[in-house]
Amino acid sequence: MRELKYAEAIRAALEDEMAIDDSVVVMGEEVGRLGGVFTTTQGLIDRFGDHRVLDSPICEAGLVGFAIGAAVEGMRPVVEIMFSDFVLLALDQIVNLGAKVRYMSGGQFSVPLTIRMPGGAGTNHGPQHSQSLETIFANVPGLVVAMPSNPSDAYWMLRHAIRSDDLVIFLESKNLYFRESGDVDERSGPDGYGARVVREGHDLTVVSAGRMVGRCREAADELAAENISCEVVDLRYLWPLDTTTIEASLRRTGKLAVVHEAVEFCGWGGEVAAWVSEHCFERLDGPMVRIGAERVPIPFGHHLEDEIVPTTGRIVAELRKLAAY
C-alpha cells in the first residue's frame, strides 16, 4: 500500500506492467527523456530503455495507426496523447481501424492497445486544451472507455486496460494529476468493469465519472448538513456501462441526477437518463436531472470556466431542487 498522487499512480501502473510484460511499450510525444509533460512517464526510459519508451514525432494519426499495427502483431502499446484534444487528429485510425478491425476481419485480429490522454478543464489551458470528449468515444462500438476518478482506480484500471485485448480509451483528468492523492494497494488486483457506490445515501442517486465524482462528493457533504442524503455512483467506465449498479441505487433512492464535465447536450448523461427511463421508470419519484457543461467552448479564466463547467455550487443547487421535488 502506498499513498500516491493520481499522476504517480499512472506512472506506477505503466512501470509495473512494463516490468512483467516485455510486449508493453510506451509511445508518445515527450514520453522519453522529458518523462511526459505531466510526469506520467518519468524515469521509465531509464529503467526500460528507448526501445520500450519511444518519443514520437508530433503526428497523432500516424502514431496511433502505427500502434494499431503493432498491437495486431502482438505488442501491447500504450500511447500517450499529450492532451485529449489532440486525439481528434487520430480519430480516423481509432474509429475506422482500431475499433473495428476485429469485427471487419471476422475475429482474425484483436487490438490490445491503450490510448491514454488527459482531458477536462480546471488547469487554465484554454479552449483547445480543456475539452471533455468522452461522449465521442462512448458512441463508438469496439472501444472501451475508462475514466478513473482517483489514484487507486487510475492504477488498477490502467493495468487492466494494458492487459485487455481490446482498444481502451483511457481518459485521465489533468486537474487531478497533482491534486488528488490516495492509497494504492499494488497487491490487490483489477476490479472489473463495474461502477462503484462511493457514498451511500437514500434521497437521491448522483451518477458521475472522472473528475466530477469529487465535486459530487463535495456536494453530497454540503447537502448532508441540510439532511439531504445523496448516493454517489462513480461509473469508472462509460462503456461498458454498469446499469446494474445504477438500477440498484435507484431502487434505494428513486431519484437520479447525472453529472459530467462533457457538454450536456447529447452528452452521455442523456444516455444514462434514457436507459433509466426505459428500464426503471416505475422506480422514479422525480424528473431526471442532467448537470453537464454548457454547449460553449471551455474559456481560459477560472471565473469564466466556472460559468460553463459544473461547479460544486451548481451541483448542490440542482440536487437540492431534485431532493425537494
Partner 1 sequence: MSHIESPPDTSTDPFSGVPIGVAEQDEAHEFYRAMSIVRSVELEIEKMHRLGRMSGSFHSSIGQEAAAVGVCAALRPTDLVTSTHRGHGHALAKGVPIEGIFAELLGRASGVSGGRGGSMHLHHRRSGFLGENAIVAGGVPWAAGAAWARRRRGTDDIAVAFMGDGGFAQGVTHETLLLARFWKSPCLVVCENNGLAHSMPSERLFGPPGTIARMVEATGVLSRYVDGRDVMAVARVARELVAEVRRGVPAFLECSVFRVRPHSLSDPDYRYRPRGAGQDWLARNDPIANLRARLESLPANRVARIDREVAEEVAQALERAEAAARPPASASKWFVYSSPELQNHA
Residue appearing with cell numbers 498491437: 71
The single residue among 12, 24, 75, 78 that binds partner 1, judged by CB under 8 A, is 75
Site for partner 1 in 40-69 (CB under 8 A): 51, 54, 56-57, 59, 61-69
- Catalytic residue, candidates 8, 17, 60, 264: 60
Residues 197-216 contacting partner 1, CB under 8 A: none
Determine, following the binding rule CB under 8 A, whether residue 109 of this chain makes contact with partner 1.
yes
Instruction: Give the side-chain half-sphere CA count within 13 A for 288.
Output: 22
Which helix (H) or strand (E) covers residue 230, if one does? strand 230-234
224 binds partner 1, rule: CB under 8 A? no
Q: Report yes or no: 144 and 239 within 8 Å, Cβ to Cβ.
A: yes
Task: Please report how close the Cβ of residue 54 comes to partner 1 at its closest, in angstroms.
Answer: 6
Does 104 engage in binding with partner 1 (CB under 8 A)?
yes
178 lies in the site for partner 1, by CB under 8 A: no
- Distance set, CA 260 to CA 24, 121, 134, 151 (Å): 32, 12, 10, 19
Q: Report the alpha-carbon distance of residue 144 to residue 96 in Å, rounded.
A: 15
129 is catalytic: yes
Q: How far is the CB of 114 from partner 1 (least distance, A)?
A: 13
Maximum pairwise Cα distance, the chain: 59
Which of 31, 41, 14, 28 minimizes the C-alpha distance to 79?
28
Compute the distance between CA of residue 78 and CA of residue 48 in angstroms, rounded to an integer.
14
Catalytic residue check, 60: yes
Shortest Å, Cβ 279 to partner 1: 15
Write out the residues near partner 1 by the rule CB under 8 A.
Answer: 25, 51, 54, 56-57, 59, 61-75, 92-93, 96-97, 101-112, 141-142, 144, 164-166, 192-193, 239-240
Indicate which residues carry an active-site annotation. 60, 129
